[in-house]
Structure 1
């Protein structure tokens, strides 16, 4: 029995692959390498450079490895950039998911864990987001993830697909020092890049209705996230019913100021962040309730903020000019 991981050479996908491998679920990687990093893929794990848009290639891979389920992480994941490139976003995230579902049906693969996003909620009006909170995405990225959920649910009705979608928020940290977040848009790599170049990280907005006036976000460790994916895969393969969606959140957010203080403490760089005006559209607080996932998927916050920052910082040291060349 094997599980196909789309986007398995990415930051989150590579952690999921390693957890699957440790659990004995025999991962197989498909990655287009548009943002994946080949060295993230373990040498002994079957690897295919292919797009989820290539239905026939997906069918061939599934048949060759007797795939029993798919963890679908591949996609265009930049919410801000999706506003500039909506057609690319929908092609990769909506058409790509549809092609993958077609391939799964053709190959007789009946289990799916989908990587969704907190972006489906937009700017929630509640302090703590639950799975029942209204979905009002504000970017093509968030819209594409919600449509992906709809496609998967409809395929469940039409073809009996067993599935669940995991909505997660700000994923940080590293479960292994050689696996780092290389995104040019995420907070942690941006802060580390600024410090490494001699620049000063910035805080946008200090007058929000929060404890210290800065935005509060929900940060979760990537290794904890990977474990939840694997637990969902195991439950589906065992024939257990899961909820259609789960939030993977902390239930208690962390402010941007607290992040900066933790980075200064962990790195030993006692910087004072530059204070800038608010950016349009930044909500004061987005935090999710993860109780449902804790009940069904063993979801837990196993890492402190300090551990999240420390592991991310250690992994970021791999981002040297030699590595990027």
Structure 2
């Protein structure tokens, strides 16, 4: 696998070719079988250390990386900026070099700053996984979304997907566009002109500013308004935004699938009834996140070696 052999990191979806993505999704499928067992653990990464270094709040990504590492039998160290030496003014570089002294196999980094994962990869010999860097990228979320959809619909080729909402501030949108286009999907982004980045068509997507053609989509991917990243006013009010762009039972057709990376602001980008509908894959996305991140850790740290043949082999049980 060229990506794992040459890169050793997952910093961007651009690190992955189509074959790399296919391999990761297939690997995730094998780990789904592990997750269905009574004992959800394999010895693949026993004796290896994974560090989760999170400078931003997280529930789904943090929890899924933690579960992924534990189910692969890795030793895990969770570091959050609150309560660490970061509170005392320690720089990211000094923190990474300190943690690298523990000889981790991988560092999973989330940061509010675009490019942080790239910088971390220069300061450590560990494999670095980007768990979200500012408005830049979130590659494992994109892989999770691909896996979730593939399990539901099979082939992704030619699938029409609309990404609706705050695209400007969304690292999920950027990674998602790159990943979905790479796998043959037809991607359209939709939102107010103030929340659509200039030149985003260069990534291979179409742009719309109204939901008039939403019925053409096979999949609707909704994004929340990232108020914490906004400096200034991008929409007149949340009420007006919801009136124009909220996905509800009137706008979502019975045959369309609904996705959202979470957390959801109920009543803003999504109506509560569609969140809880059979068309919603939101819980499926959360479930998929564990096995996809298991696949990423495996391919970076054990893929291609002896572990590749025994990825889902259980621990020997005592007689």
Q: TM-score, normalised by structure 1?
A: 0.29
Q: TM-score, normalised by structure 2?
A: 0.30
Instruction: Specify which structure has the bigger relative contact order, considering alpha-carbon pairs within 8 angstroms and separated by 6 or more residues.
Output: 2
